[in-house]
Chains A and B, each alone.
Chain A
Amino acid sequence: MKSNRRKFIKFAGLAALGWSICPSLAGAGPSRYKRIEEGLRAERWAMAIDTTKLTQEVMERAIAACHELHNVPRIESDKNIKWIWVETFYNLIYDQSHPYLQERQLPVLTLCNHCDNPPCVRVCPTKATFSREDGIVLMDFHRCIGCRFCMAGCPFGARSFNYYDPKLFLDEDEINRDFPTRDMGVVEKCEFCAHLLDQGQRPACVEAAEGVLFFGDVRDPESEVRQVLGERYSLVRKPKLGTEPQVYYLI
């Protein structure tokens, strides 16, 4: 290409414009930000819950591990906060149950489904809740205005709102300082332990439940979760709503 001064000036001008819009593109050397190298990565994180092995003890261990790690306050009223909790099989999967089903009253773990097509993300007016590239539906507590549209939007009752200042219900000595507490007036929910995955660890409930919860990349045919989904019969909650839940129940 024949170059001349006019062309050069044009190009330089465009480059300057580009650089002013997106400075990180310019300049050699290490990029300003990077991920932790040991972090676990996936195309699509998913969880499979083995309902046949869910004993009371296992579930309590998983709940305690999660709620202690994330400083989830224990509030004994209908204004409570739950990230992972117990429901009967029927309440979870009533649209795929019938009166003579053995498992009707079986207690089962419940948590955010980290839907592939999450209505909570669609309705949030500030993008305070958003989908990460690896499919985790995350909350940005700094940005949430507390309108609770996401709670109305969630068809699974996975979200809790901080009606109270959660610090009132947390013991100062027992606060886990590796994870923030929340402000009054924001919504929260299970995060698939995104912060642990980024540091190379598996979710707290998966570790605590030892072999009852399978976790991994559902797009990877070799992954543990994909293997078990291939071998056994499983259900997701309310599939007809098209939210594409990524928490599978093995039965």
Chain B
Amino acid sequence: MYNAKYIIPGLIIFALLFTFPFWYNLGADAYEPVELELPEDYDDCLESTEYMRTEHMKMLDEWRDIYVRDGYQMYWSELKEQYFLMSLTKTCMDCHDNKEEFCDRCHDQTAVDPYCWDCHHIEP
């Protein structure tokens, strides 16, 4: 091989950089599911827990487009068979009124930082 003394160290550096996320997290704690504080007065959310867990961000994204751009305000819940106002602060957080123990706990654990509440303020 021509220039092996340049190519091989180059490849090694590339491989190290490329796999950075893996070895950076080597010593870190394994992911543990978080304990969330659930609303006491209700058994179900608007949709099944599994659906809400995986899809709530997409649902909220869809809500904001449909509310702001299409002019619809109510969402039909398949689970509850009832219409609800599409509002993060008035509908979601009416039940999930403990942001720190519910929203933040999971978002912190998964290292995401949604900026919804920067503008949509909840009661202090």
Q: Are A34 and B74 in contact (CB under 8 A)?
A: yes
Does B12 belong to the interface (CB within 8 Å)?
no
Cα separation A176 to B52 with both chains bound (whole Å): 28
Across-interface contacts of B124 in A (CB, < 8 A): 172-173
Rounded to whole Å, the gap between the CB of A39 and the closest CB of chain B is 8
Across-interface contacts of B71 in A (CB, < 8 A): 35, 132-133, 194, 198
Assuming the A-B contacts A34-B83, A130-B69, A138-B68, are A180 and B120 also in contact, with contact meaning beta carbons closer than 8 angstroms in the complex? yes
Across-interface contacts of A132 in B (CB, < 8 A): 71
Q: Are B74 and A181 in contact (CB under 8 A)?
A: no
Assuming the A-B contacts A140-B69, A142-B64, A177-B89, are A33 and B75 also in contact, with contact meaning beta carbons closer than 8 angstroms in the complex? yes
Cα separation A31 to B66 with both chains bound (whole Å): 13
Partner of B119, one of A36, A39, A141: A141
Assuming the A-B contacts A177-B121, A183-B118, are A34 and B76 also in contact, with contact meaning beta carbons closer than 8 angstroms in the complex? yes
Cα separation A241 to B124 with both chains bound (whole Å): 47
Q: Are A36 and B74 in contact (CB under 8 A)?
A: yes
Query: In which size bucket is the chain A interface?
Result: 20 to 34
Does B40 belong to the interface (CB within 8 Å)?
no
**At the interface, is chain B mostly helix, strand, loop or mixed?**
mixed
Assuming the A-B contacts A130-B69, A140-B69, are A33 and B123 also in contact, with contact meaning beta carbons closer than 8 angstroms in the complex? no
Rounded to whole Å, the gap between the CB of A133 and the closest CB of chain B is 7
Closest to A130 in B: B69
Most A-side CB within 10 Å, residue of B66, B69, B85, B124: B69
Q: Are B73 and A36 in contact (CB under 8 A)?
A: yes
Most A-side CB within 10 Å, residue of B69, B74, B119, B124: B119
Cα separation A104 to B119 with both chains bound (whole Å): 40
Rounded to whole Å, the gap between the CB of A97 and the closest CB of chain B is 38
Does B34 belong to the interface (CB within 8 Å)?
no
Rounded to whole Å, the gap between the CB of B82 and the closest CB of chain A is 9
Partner of A33, one of B66, B120, B121: B66
Q: Using an 8 Å CB-CB cutoff, how does the interface string of B93-124 with A read, 1 for contact, 0 for none? A: 00000000000000000000001001111111
Does A32 belong to the interface (CB within 8 Å)?
yes
Closest to B71 in A: A132
Partner of B122, one of A34, A130, A140, A177: A177
Rounded to whole Å, the gap between the CB of B96 and the closest CB of chain A is 16
Q: Are A198 and B73 in contact (CB under 8 A)?
A: yes
Q: Using an 8 Å CB-CB cutoff, how does the interface string of B57-73 with A read, 1 for contact, 0 for none? A: 00000001010111111
What 10 A-B pairs are tightest by C-beta distance, nearest first?
A33-B72, A180-B119, A34-B74, A36-B73, A181-B119, A180-B120, A30-B76, A177-B121, A140-B68, A32-B76
7 residue pairs of the A-B complex, CB under 8 angstroms, read: A33-B74, A33-B75, A140-B68, A142-B68, A172-B124, A177-B122, A181-B119
Beyond contacts A34-B73, A142-B68: 10 other A-B pairs, Cβ-Cβ < 8 A, are A33-B66, A33-B70, A33-B72, A33-B75, A132-B71, A167-B118, A180-B119, A180-B121, A181-B118, A181-B119
